[in-house]
Amino acid sequence: MRKTTTALAYALIATSVSAEPIEQRIAPCLACHGEKGQSETENTPSLGAQHAPYSLIQLFMFREKLRVVEPMNEVTKALTDDDLRLFSDFIAKMPKPEPPGENGDPARMQRGQALVQQHRCDSCHNGDLSGKENVPRIANQREDYLAKTLGEYKDNSRHGYDASMADVMAPISPEQIADLAYYIARMR
Amino acid sequence: MMNYLTVPRSVLLSGAFLSAFILGAAAQQAADPPAAAQAPAPAPAAGAPPPAGTAASPSLPPGSPLIGRPAGNDAAAKLAPIAPPPIPAAPDKLPTAKLKVPAGFNIEVYAAGMANARSLALGDKGTVFVGSRLVDKVYAIVNKDGKREVKVLASGLYRPNGVAFKDGTLYIAELSKISKIEKIEDNLDNPPKPTVIFDKLPKDEPHGWKFIAIGPDNKLYAPVGQPGNNVLNDDEHGLIRRMNFDGSGAEVIVRGVRHTVGFDWHPETKQLYFTDNGRDWMSEDVPEDELNRITKVGEHFGAPFCLQGNIVDPEFGWGKSCSEYTAPAGLLGPHAAALGMRFYTGNMFPKAYRNVAIIARHGSWNRSKKVGGDVVIAKLNKDGTMKSLEPFLTGFLEDNKYIGRPVDVLPMKDGSLLVSDDYNGAVYRITYGKQKTAGKS
C-alpha cells in the first residue's frame, strides 16, 4: 500500500504542471504527510506549520541528493527553485500538529523534559520547541520520526545542512533519544 | 554562596568592567570559572526538573556546544547559528547596490549562481575556483571570450570548503580528505574525478570543514578544527598541518588552533598569519577572534585553555596561564567569524594598502548585536603585530540581519580583489579608480 501511494505520488508530482494550483500539486505529498499537517504514516514527518526556510533547505537537499531518502529524492527531482519555494510556503501555512489525546507516562515525560532542558534544545528551537527560520518546529512531531532523526544525526547518517545537530547529539545516548522523542511528541 | 557568586557574574558581564577585566583581571576571572558567563539561575518551579548548567544540576555533558549558555535568559535564547538560503540569489537580487567601499573604490558582481560559494583560489590562466560547505560542489569561474561563465567542476563531495591551486593542479579539501585534479585548466569542460592525496583526517562535523593553501615552502597547509565549541583537543584536532603535494611528509606545525578558515603568508617576512574563531557562549563581548602569526614550528595558540591571549577559559583554564601560549598578533572582534584573509600585494589599490591583511568577517550569530559581516583591513606594525583594523567593505548587515556574508578574499593579478558571499552564492569584484568594467561608483 505504502509503495503504491509513493509510486502514485511520483507520477502525480512529476507530471503536474506549474500552472496547476498548489493545492492540487501538493496533494500527493499530503497523502503520506497528512492532509491537515499531521502525518499518520510511519516514520514520515508531520509538516504542518513547519517554517518555510527550514522546509526549503530540506527540499533543496532532497533535490540535490544532499539528504538521501529515495522517495523524496525522486519526487523533488524535477522541481524548480520556484517550486521548492512554493511548496515550503504552503507547508508553513498548514495547521501545526497536535499532541496525542492521552497524556504520556509521567515518569518518561519528566525524563524527556529534563533532557530537553539539559541539552538546551530551546536554545535554537524555542522554549515551546516551535522552532524559527531554518530551525524546525519539532513540538508534537511523530515520535518514531523524531527518534529516527535524532539517531541519524548522532551517527551522522543524516548529514545536517550545517554541523549544529551533529555537535549537539554527540553526547546523547540512545536511551536518552527514546525519552526525548517520547516527550517532544507529547508535549503540551 | 549563591549571592556571593552572582555578584561577580553580573559585574563580569558589564561592558564598563570589560576592558579592565581583559587587561588585568585574569586572576579575578579565574576565581569564578564556568559561572562567568552565566546569569543567575531562576528558582525552579515546584516539581520541575532543575535547570541544567546550574549548581543544582551541574552539567551540560562535556563537549556540549551549549556550555556556558545562560539558562533561562531570553536574549541568549534568541541566538542560533544562521543558515544561509540554499538557493543562490539571482544576479538582479544581489545586494550589490547596498554594499559600501571607501571613496575611489568600486564593487560589482563578478559571478553569481554558485550555491554557498566559500573559499577562493586562482589558477594560472585566470580561472577562479570556488569551494562550498553546505552543498557538494566545487565551481570554476571561467573567462571565455570576454564573458564569465560558471561551471561545476566536481560534485558529490562532502563539505568541500577548501580549494588551492599550484602548477596546474587544483587541490580540494573536503571534511576528512584532501584530493587533487591535475591540469585542471586544460580540462574545465570535462574534468576527471579528484584523486585523494591525504585522508588521515578525523570526520567530526563541528569545525571540520577546511581552508587550505600552499605556502612559499611549496607545502600544502591544512588545518583540523576543534571538534566542538569548547572541548579538549586530542592529537588529531585543533592544529595546522603541512604536507607535500602528494600527501607525504605530513607534519603538525602548530596546535591550540580552535578553527582557522583563512590564512596567508606575509609577503616580506613569509610568516604564516591565520585567523582563528573564538568560542561561543562565554559572553557577548569576549573572547574575540584572533589574528595569529606563526614564528616557529611547535607553537601552541591557546585553544581551549587561553582565549584571545589574555583570558584563561572558565572551564579549561584551571591551572593554566596565558603566558604558556603564543599570543595573537591582533584581535578581530567578538564572535565576528573572521574567515578568509590574504595579504594585498597588487598595484591597483593606493599605496597605503600595500602588504595589508584583508580579512573577511562572516559575521556573528552568538551575539545580540551582530558584529562583522564585512571585509576589514588589518595593518601591521614593524614587529608583525596588528596596528589597526579598519572597515573596507560594509553593508551586508541591515537592521541586525544579514543580507550577505563574506567568506573569502582573493587578490587578482590586475590588483582587483574578489570577495565570496556564501549567503547569496556570489563573488564580487572590488576595483580602484575608473574602471572600464566597473559597475556603480
Separation in Å, CA of A162 to nearest CA in chain B: 6
Element holding B326 (H helix, E strand): none
Q: In this structure, what C-alpha cell is assigned to residue B424?
A: 547569496
Element holding B154 (H helix, E strand): strand B147-154
Residue from B264, B383, B286, B297 nearest B333 by CA:
B286
**Percent of chain A surpassing pLDDT 70:** 90
Cβ burial, residue B401 (10 Å; 0-12/13-18/19+): exposed
CB pair distance less than 8 Å for A123 and B66: yes
What type of residue is B127?
Answer: T
Nearest CA in chain A to B63: A171
For B413, residues 6+ apart whose C-beta sits below 8 A from its C-beta are B122, B126, B346
**What secondary structure letter does DSSP report for B354?**
T
Work out the average pLDDT over A147-158.
94
Residue from B267, B228, B426 nearest B345 by CA:
B267
Task: Please list the ranges in chain B whose pLDDT falls under 50.
Answer: 1-58, 438-441
Q: In this structure, what C-alpha cell is assigned to residue B175?
A: 571534511
Of A4-8, A32-36, A80-84, B28-32, give the lowest mean pLDDT range.
Answer: B28-32
What type of residue is B336?
Answer: A
Residues of A with CB under 8 A from a CB of B: 53, 56-57, 60-61, 64, 66, 81, 84-85, 110, 113-114, 117-120, 122-124, 126-127, 132-135, 156, 159-164, 166-168, 170-172
**pLDDT in the model for residue B63:** 62
Residues in chain A: 188
Cβ burial, residue B130 (10 Å; 0-12/13-18/19+): buried
Residue B136 contacts A where some CB pair is shorter than 8 Å: yes
User: For residue range B307-348, what is the model confidence (pLDDT) as tens digits?
Assistant: 999 999 999 999 999 999 999 999 999 999 999 999 999 999
Residue with cell 536574549: B75
3-state SS class at B290:
strand
Closest to B63 (Cβ–Cβ): which among A122, A134, A170? A170
What's the complex ipTM?
Answer: 0.85
3-state SS class at B76:
helix
Residue from B48, B100, B104 nearest B72 by CA:
B48
**pLDDT in the model for residue A17:** 58
User: For residue range B123-169, what is the model confidence (pLDDT) as tens digits?
Assistant: 999 999 999 999 999 999 998 888 999 999 999 999 999 999 999 99
Residue B62 contacts A where some CB pair is shorter than 8 Å: yes
At B74, phi and psi to the nearest 5? -65, -40
**pLDDT in the model for residue B34:** 33
State the distance between the two ends of chain A, measured CA to CA, in whole angstroms.
33
DSSP, residue by residue, B380-421: E-TTSSEEEEEEEEB--EETTEES--EEEEEE-TTS-EEEEE
Closest to B77 (Cβ–Cβ): which among A123, A134, A168? A123
For B217, residues 6+ apart whose C-beta sits below 8 A from its C-beta are B242
Residue with cell 563537549: B63
Are the C-beta atoms of B263 and B341 separated by less than 8 Å?
A: yes
